[in-house]
Amino acid sequence: MSLYLLVEGDQTEPLIYASWLEHCLPTWQRVDRVEDISDKTFFMISGKGYPSYLKRIKAAVSDVHAHGVRWLWICIDSEDMSYDEKVHEIRSILDECPSFHGTRVIVQHCCIETWLLGNAKIVKRMPETEPLRSFMAHYNVVREDPEKMPSMDGFDTRAGFHLAYLRKAFEERGDRYAKNNPGGAKEHYYLRELIRRQTTTKHIPSFGSLVSALQELGAAADVLGIAPQRA
């Protein structure tokens, strides 16, 4: 079992995915070259943002075929596209490649900060400072699905607003979130809170693709914080 990850950015995603994989699959190791991939190892490469990562997909498929990799994750933001539009965009490129049944398209809808806002414990129910109070009045991510949150006046994009919201939520808790230093978002407890939110409320549904992919790699239910199914 081995994994090749093509992630959108070169800051946040490499840090978060590497850390989450370490928590969920502690016997696995990261390798720096795809040539070194073997059982229970993963290799990660950045697509350097959109649209640059689109050009990297075909090379990634060639790599997994050439080196006998079992799984290929393509982890990207949808931003202002719908979830289905982004999946279709990626699948259209994959259709031009040699078939590889281990591909998983993991869409961060609309961005990875959207997922991270799914940790209800990081956002205070009664924020004490601005602009977080205004953000919460605009859209309460504790009660409502962060994936459905629209932008707010003063922000050019939804992704930019979601990032600002998350940063202020961290600051209110005395923590710090930055693209090159996502703080507590890398930790096991944070991942488990996101999984709990997704599995109990069905919010952040695109995050469910990552949970399913982790289970395919062998991540145990107790590690993920998922209650076992009753017979």
The string of pLDDT tens digits covering residues 21-54 is: 999 999 999 999 999 999 999 999 999 999 999 9
Q: What are phi and psi of 186, to 5 degrees?
A: -80, -15
In sequence order, the 6+-apart residues with CB closer than 8 A to the CB of 181 are 15
User: Are residues 78 and 110 in contact, defined by beta-carbon separation less than 8 angstroms?
Assistant: yes
- In Å, how far are 10, 31, 51 from 13, measured between CA atoms? 7, 16, 16
pTM for this model (two decimals): 0.95
Question: What SS3 state is found at 112?
Answer: helix
Sorting pLDDT into bands at 50, 70 and 90, what band is 163? very high
| Backbone dihedral region for residue 202 (phi beyond 0: left; psi -120 to 50: alpha; all else: beta) | left
Structural element, H or E, at residue 43? strand 41-46
Q: How does the average pLDDT of the chain come out, rounded?
A: 96
| Contact status, residue 108 vs residue 77, Cβ threshold 8 Å | yes
Average pLDDT in the 78-85 region?
97
Q: How many helices (H) and strands (E) does the chain have?
A: 9, 5
